[in-house]
């Protein structure tokens, strides 16, 4: 199988076989440096989220999803740091030591983390929307371990999608690989993304109409911003990868992956800023800011 036909090589994903491999492009180096710095800051931020939500803050349905989202973002950034470092080393020393299959595997693992983030954001949006539309069921009859079960199922779905795409792209013809990738994008675009957007629209309308009392305002702001950042920064990665299957490659790959890295890095800083700012915008410790956001009561009361 010709891997280049299905996964066209990009400069960020360790391009090989160019006409002049020893020619260093200052723009590419600057872009990769910025991407690397963003990824490193995102790794520190998501690492702090993993530590605080895992060991310092009491568990609730929302923190379960946020914790898993931080794992997905941390994984994505880790893959991207590896990819950028390998490309920069090859670019500087003019020596190719990474196989093409390994490069494609990095791209597949990045898409795996992207899919998991999408699925978890959809679950968070539906969770909060359900708490508003069905408050009695949510308070009294919601299974206690539902969040954990949903996260396990979503990770299993991501692994199954990755396994299917990997097997078809590495061991079958190019046509089968393209069909598998298009099917994955259809699942993202036609099922999960619409559910995420519709749930947030309903949540936004309910909050803006003033039909909620004692709503956890900071938590809703976090959900709105996370979804907004996903649509702005991370969606281009999936759209770009989808268009590659039809030969459209006009958008620079480095810019697309930089946006994806910004999305995976920005959530921890959003949690801190939303949790730390009050009327006087006084800054507080990271742990206090996270407690303000994630330990707010999730009980929602509907006025008649």
Tell me the pLDDT tens digit for each residue of 134-145. Answer: 888 888 888 888
- Of 61-65, 167-171, 193-197, where does mean pLDDT reach its minimum? 167-171
User: Token match 């898409």: residue?
Assistant: 111
Q: Please give the share of the chain, as a percent, with pLDDT higher than 90.
A: 12
Q: How far is CA 116 from the centre of its chain?
A: 7
In this prediction, residue 168 carries a pLDDT of 82
Question: Does 155 score more than 90 pLDDT?
Answer: yes
- Of 87-96, 168-177, 248-257, where does mean pLDDT reach its minimum? 248-257
67 vs 215: CA distance, rounded Å: 22
Bridge pairing between strands 301-302 and 212-213: antiparallel
Q: Is 42 or 200 the better-scoring residue by pLDDT?
A: 42
67-72: average pLDDT: 92
24-28: average pLDDT: 71
Q: Which of the given ranges, 90-99, 102-111, 113-122, has the highest pLDDT on average? A: 113-122
123-144: average pLDDT: 84
- Of 50-54, 210-214, 252-256, where does mean pLDDT reach its minimum? 210-214
Task: Bin 14: left if φ > 0, else alpha if -120 < ψ < 50, else beta.
Answer: left
Question: Does 18 score more than 50 pLDDT?
Answer: no
In this prediction, residue 40 carries a pLDDT of 94
**227: Cβ contacts below 8 Å, ≥ 6 apart:** 121, 125, 196, 197, 200
pLDDT band of 157, cuts 50, 70, 90: very high
In this prediction, residue 234 carries a pLDDT of 63
What rounded mean pLDDT belongs to the chain? Answer: 76
Nearest to 230 by CA among 117, 128, 124, 129: 117
SS3 call for 149: helix
> What fold does the segment set 10-302 form as a domain?
Rhopdopsin 7-helix transmembrane proteins (1.20.1070)
């Amino acid at each position: 199988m010709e891997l280049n036909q299905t996964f066209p090589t990009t400069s960020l994903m360790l391009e090989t076989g160019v006409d002049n491999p020893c020619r260093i492009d200052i723009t590419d180096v600057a872009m990769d440096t910025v991407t690397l710095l963003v990824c490193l800051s995102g790794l520190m931020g998501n690492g702090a989220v993993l530590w605080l939500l895992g060991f310092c803050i009491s568990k609730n349905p929302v923190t379960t999803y946020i914790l898993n989202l931080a794992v997905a973002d941390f994984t994505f950034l880790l893959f991207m740091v590896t990819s950028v470092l390998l490309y920069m080393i090859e670019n500087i020393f003019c020596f190719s030591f990474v196989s093409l299959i390994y490069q494609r595997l990095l791209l597949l693992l990045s898409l795996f983390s992207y899919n998991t983030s999408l699925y978890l954001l959809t679950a968070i949006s539906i969770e909060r929307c359900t708490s508003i539309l069905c408050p009695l069921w949510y308070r009294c009859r919601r299974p206690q371990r539902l969040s954990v079960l949903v996260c396990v199922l979503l990770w299993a779905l991501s692994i199954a999608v990755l396994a299917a795409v990997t097997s078809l792209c590495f061991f079958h013809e190019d046509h089968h690989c393209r069909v598998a990738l298009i099917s994955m994008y259809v699942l993202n675009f036609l099922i999960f993304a619409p559910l995420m957007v519709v749930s947030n629209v309903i949540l936004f309308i309910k909050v803006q109409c003033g039909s909620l009392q004692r709503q956890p305002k900071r938590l809703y702001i976090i959900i709105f911003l996370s979804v907004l950042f996903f649509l702005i920064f991370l969606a281009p990665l999936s759209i770009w990868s989808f268009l590659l299957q039809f030969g459209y490659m006009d958008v620079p790959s480095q810019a697309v992956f930089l946006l994806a890295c910004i999305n995976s890095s920005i959530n921890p800083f959003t949690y801190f800023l939303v949790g730390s700012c009050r009327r006087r915008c006084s800054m507080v410790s990271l742990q206090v800011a996270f407690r303000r956001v994630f330990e707010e009561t999730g009980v929602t009361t509907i006025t008649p």
